[in-house]
Amino acid sequence: MKHTGAEILCKSLILEGVDVIFGYPGGAIMPVYDALLKYPKLRHILVRHEQGAAHAAEGYARVTGKPGVCLVTSGPGATNLITGLADAMMDCVPLVCISGQVSSELIGNDAFQEADVVGITSMATKHNYLIDNPSEIAKAVKEAFHLANTGKPGPVMIDFTKDAQFAKTEYIKNLEVDLPGYKPVTKGNFFQIKKAAEEINKSKRPLILAGHGVLISKASSELLSLSQKADIPVACTLHGLSSIPNAHKNYVGMLGMHGNLAPNVMTNKADVLIGLGLRFDDRVTGKLDKYARQAKIIHVDIDPAEIGKNVDVEIPIVGDVKSVLEDLMPLINYANHKDWLEEFDKYKKEEEEKVIKVETKPRTGKIKMAEIVSCISSSAKSDAIIVADVGQNQMITARYSTFLRPNSFLTSGGLGTMGFGLPAGIGAKVGRPEREVWIIAGDGGFQMTIQEMMTIVQENLNVKIAVLNNNFLGMVRQWQDLFFEKKYSQVHMQTPDFIKISEGFGIKAEKVKERKDLINAIGRARKHKGAYLLEFEVEMEANVFPIMPTGAAVDEMRLE
């Protein structure tokens, strides 16, 4: 029995375990949308903009571990995905995106809604395909899912001509993936693992730097075991947050430009750094020639290109973090680093007094972002999935939320995409409907993808939204304040009536201006059976501290 290329696509997606597609129809992908009616197993979520589809698919992938799937039309449908593809590529998020393409005979003729999708997406994907024959689609889908979710995860693009969607051929489903040039190494070299164990066992001041790779490889329990057995403090990157419970005695805070003082300063005092699934990017290292010169660095990453790219590494280990830690653990001796851990406390107390108490327990003035985030986290008993947009709201959310379960924090890290939060929160709720989901955004980023509020309503998603409104592009304003002599240029932002807009979409909303109303408003939002928006009028010209200025070392952070 022969099937159309569109039907084969649907069958192939079901075979890969796909249950949700985020998309937006159009002329060049219409045969696939027609075929979808025959396959009710594939739940389609109609977004309001293709960028929203990509970010929603990212949110879904981040909380489920399964590749997120997007379906769009040709031309602007495909090009509107580019920001999401680049975001997923930077943050190692597995996506499989399918776009319609004009018919084969029209390619290269500047046909209506034609775009060179393969050329345009080549730098923002792990791989891409142009399918002009229905017999190629089953193999391409099989390979795409394998590529997206193995090795270093990332997005894969399939561009599917309209004539190939209509054409019929036999469907062959029991295909084997055979990609001779793609063989990710998951098992670490045992000799290197043994050398790492020797360094860890003799170290007096070891420090684990936990990155996104810990969560991707589902290695949270192995990380915890290593930390406990060898009594090693653990610091997390922005994407590594929630890989270890914040309440654990060995968790010492977040690394990075707006991270906690203790782990940043102590990086330059450690004798051994154990980097697990991180890139040692500029936000973590600060000035490279002053970064951890005293330490021997052990770097575990599944991507060999990341090792030694930014920092010199004494013991490189290419492999999956979980697999490497499983092999490492039997070689690790029990240890006690009580004195070393106590050194972190000095800096922790300094930050607590000069920053954290000031931000979370003010008695006068406008509401502060930190007290809102802290209140949301404690009200949800630190069990919610928190999705942050980008900017000051992002750094505040990362700093003042408490995470007790893996994959509880989502944000755009490498690309820093404003507008990420709302659609990513949609994807997170679709992927984990049983979890409470909070989307925290600034007034700037929220307006970038505000149209996805209607997607929330149409899908009846019970998400909670907190808009931290300071009428500024807060992070840009902060830099202009600190480093451009307070010369504000195009950062003041007049905002619409978010309450009326939310109610216009059909989402219950309220504005919170007074500190005394904070707890009750959050409580009402949480109890409401459905989506709920809270707009908070916050301090307008607040800055996020600590901060590691550009060009500074990790131990040169400013507290004010």
- Give 558's DSSP letter: B
Q: Is the CB of residue 440 less than 8 Å from the CB of residue 421? A: yes
Given the residues 257, 266, 369, 475, the one annotated as active site: 475
Burial, 14: exposed, middle or buried (Cβ in 10 Å; 0-12, 13-18, 19+)? middle
Secondary structure class of 20 (helix, strand, coil) = strand
- What is the token pair recorded at 395? 């750094």
Give yes or no for a cis peptide into 496 (omega within 30° of 0).
Answer: no
Find residue 509's DSSP bridge partners. Answer: 533
User: What whole-number distance in Å separates Cα of residue 232 and Cα of residue 201?
Assistant: 11
Helix (H) or strand (E) holding 387: strand 385-388
Q: CB within 8 A of 42, min separation 6: which ones?
A: 10, 13, 14, 18, 19, 20, 21, 36
**Residue 192 catalytic?**
no
Secondary structure class of 412 (helix, strand, coil) = coil
Q: Is the CB of residue 543 less than 8 Å from the CB of residue 482? A: yes
Find residue 72's DSSP bridge partners. Answer: 99
Secondary structure class of 519 (helix, strand, coil) = helix
Sign of the Cα torsion 354, 357, 359, 362 reads negative
Q: Where are the alpha helices (DSSP H) in 369-473?
A: 369-379, 392-400, 421-431, 443-448, 453-458
User: What whole-number distance in Å separates Cα of residue 442 and Cα of residue 471?
Assistant: 9
Q: Where are the alpha helices (DSSP H) in 232-356?
A: 261-267, 282-285, 321-328, 338-351
Q: Is the CB of residue 544 less than 8 Å from the CB of residue 356? A: no
Given the residues 30, 113, 343, 451, the one annotated as active site: 113
Output the DSSP codes for 95-148: EEEEEEE--GGGTTTT-TT---HHHHHTTSSSEEEEE-SGGGHHHHHHHHHHHH
Given the residues 38, 112, 187, 514, the one annotated as active site: 112
- Strands 127-131 and 155-161, bridge-based pairing: parallel
- Give 335's DSSP letter: -
Q: Is the CB of residue 534 less than 8 Å from the CB of residue 499? A: no
Q: Is the CB of residue 98 less than 8 Å from the CB of residue 32? A: yes
**Residue 478 catalytic?**
no
**Residue 113 catalytic?**
yes
The residue type at 162: K
Q: CB within 8 A of 174, min separation 6: which ones?
A: none
Helix (H) or strand (E) holding 30: helix 30-36
Burial, 434: exposed, middle or buried (Cβ in 10 Å; 0-12, 13-18, 19+)? exposed
**Residue 143 catalytic?**
no
User: What whole-number distance in Å separates Cα of residue 85 and Cα of residue 76?
Assistant: 14
**Residue 539 catalytic?**
no
Given the residues 126, 162, 296, 464, the one annotated as active site: 162
Torsions phi, psi for 328 (to 5 deg): -75, -40
- Give 479's DSSP letter: H
The tokens 């602007």 sit on which residue?
76
User: What whole-number distance in Å separates Cα of residue 356 and Cα of residue 379?
Assistant: 18
Q: Catalytic residue positions?
A: 50, 112-113, 162, 475
